[in-house]
Structure 1
Amino acid sequence: MKEMSRKDIENIIPHRDPFLLIDKIVEVEPGKRIKAVKYVRQEEYYFKGHFPSNPIMPGVLIVETIAQAGAVSVLMLPENKGKLVLFAGIDKARFRRVVKPGDEMTVEVEMESFKRNIGRAKGRAMVGNDIACTADIMFALG
């Protein structure tokens, strides 16, 4: 599989700037697993207030990045094209490392189950070899 750019991603999920948090997809098995990259830039809108003298990516946006990657994987399946993936739950979210401007954050998501339009997945965000966040996510396909 060749890498997928932001333009490719925009053809799959409805998110747009400033809320499209994925910069590229580097690996994907549609409906099974995905690996994506977020380049954390100094000019990200949320750093103006979180926190101006010590910018840190908000944990909820790290989890959202994981969720967006999972949505790309699910929506790449032909039977899901054009549908919407919505958050249904977040469990066991743990934050182990701050994510700062200049970091390259890699997110990996593995699907665990999918029944009656409800799915579950395990996700993690990494900076280098360090785990920044892990979370179990639940989503609804509508």
Structure 2
Amino acid sequence: MSDEPNAVAFDINGIISHQRNRYPVLLIDRITAVDPGKSASAVKCFTYNEWFFPGHFDDEPNVPGFIQIESLTQTFIMTFLCMEEYKGMKTNFVSLNNVKFKRKVVPGDVLKIDAVLTSFKRGIAIGSVQSTVNGEPACSGDFIVAVPAVLDRFKPKSS
């Protein structure tokens, strides 16, 4: 996706202006391309000075699964949070399905992440995300994420 001539990209300041995650849980470094309402690609560069490496594990540092999942999720939500009407809105997990870890991710690795939004209706986003390191599959899954501010508009009103 990043080879598209008119692709939109965001540096860290652009990411911060579009989603609510902040240090220490802002886990993507750059959105390399986004097609609003359709797809997003990102990178995360893991260095040994990440807060989780000393505890996971001091003798064999590797990226915990939850960090990988959160990196994928932050890329996925940029498929719709990059749209002006959703910019900066809070999101919540609904479900994670078919999550697979294919390789260990270690300090020095660059995680390349590609997300596809297959449906976004009434505040529910559905899609899939995959990541690679040096072209090798790393982690993937199917995600459903809610945008409560949008979802609430469609809830029945009590009398």
Q: Same fold per TM (> 0.5)?
A: yes
Q: For structure 2, which runs of at least 5 residues remain unmatched after alignment?
A: 1-6, 149-159
Aligned to 1:89: 95
1:51 aligns with 2:26: no
* Range with greater deviation from structure 2 (50-59 or 71-80): 71-80
Q: Pick the aligned partner of 2:26 from 2, 8, 20.
A: 20
Match of 1:30 among 29, 36, 61: 36
Root-mean-square deviation (CA), in Å? Answer: 1.1
**Which structure's CA Rg is the greater one?**
2
2:109 maps to 103
Match of 1:138 in 2: 144
Identity among equivalent pairs (%): 32
Structure 1 unpaired stretches of 5+ = none
Displacement after TM superposition at 1:11 (Å): 0.6
Match of 2:16 among 3, 10, 15: 10
Q: Deviations over 1:84-136 (max 9, x none)?
A: 12111100000000100000101110011122211111001110110001100
Inter-partner Cα distance in structure 1 for 2:41 and 2:88: 21
Runs of 4+ in 1 over 2 A off after TM superposition: none
Q: In structure 2, give the amino acid aligned to 1:70.
A: F
